[in-house]
Amino acid sequence: MTEIRKQFHEELDEIRSEVIRLGALAGEAVQRGTNALLDADLAEVERVVDADADMDALTYSIEQRTCMLLAQQQPMAIDLRMLVTILRVIHELERIGDLMVKVAKGSRRLYPEPLTPRIRGLVDRMRDQAAAQVRTAVDAFADRDLAKAAALIDMDDVMDDLQTELFQVIFSERNVEDAVLQRAVQLALIGRYFERIGDHAANFADRVLFMVTGNFPHQPPHQPPHPPTQSAAD
């Protein structure tokens, strides 16, 4: 291996490690953002917001390093697919951080009214599900594991079911006072944020499939490109 290629792979390994670190920060955001909501901890909300700035900075750094490596080394095959995948998955993780900021900030709008036991229980389950999906997504990327990538699709179905159950509990309340309706809307939005986190984690399935196999989702393997068609004018 030439010195240039050795340096390329060392840089690629460092970038890959940074993606895994970004995934760990996303997992922390899920835990801390939900805790801020459940505990109505307004000081913790500010810490979640500050931590998201660190995620944004790391995302930008990874993106810059990846683009530089693409431009300077012109990689091919698996190396190229990994770099392209990195550019996609870091923004999935960055969006997870953004969504957890929204979840945490929801505690401000609900304050000081406590969550009911049923709502707390569902939010707690959504937190655990989101954390598991983020962890599985990052592991699938780090290990190039197609089985874990495939599991993400089924895991996302669980999150969708939890969101539906949350909506049913929220809107079973028959009181139509404005304050109650506003509270219901805020809780519904929080459920939607968790569901979107599940979607971003599930997107790793397609990214990992492409990175490992070179196939795009729903594309039969080794499908030859269609020849260009000629118009009647030609």
Question: Strand, coil or helix: what is 223?
Answer: coil
CA-CA distance, 202 to 83, in Å (whole number)? 19
- pLDDT score for 175: 65
Selected residue with higher pLDDT from 209 and 178: 209
pLDDT at 2: 82
pLDDT at 220 over 80: no
Mean per-residue pLDDT, 115-142: 97
User: Which 8-state DSSP code applies to residue 113?
Assistant: S
Cα separations in angstroms, 183 against 35, 134, 161, 171: 19, 28, 21, 11
pLDDT at residue number 218: 64
pLDDT reading at 234 higher than 60 = no
Mean pLDDT, the chain, whole residue set: 91
DSSP run (H or E) holding 83: helix 77-110
Least confident of 84-93, 177-186, 214-223: 214-223
What residues have CB less than 8 Å from 145, skipping those under 6 apart? 139, 208
Rounded CA gap, 70 and 11, in Å? 11
Mean predicted confidence (pLDDT) in 20-35? 98
- pLDDT tops 80 at residue 14: yes
Report residue 217's pLDDT band, with 50, 70 and 90 as the boundaries. Answer: confident
pLDDT 10s digits, 30-79? 999 999 999 999 999 999 999 999 999 999 999 999 999 999 888 989 99
Find out if CATH 1.20.58.220 is the number for domain 3-213: yes
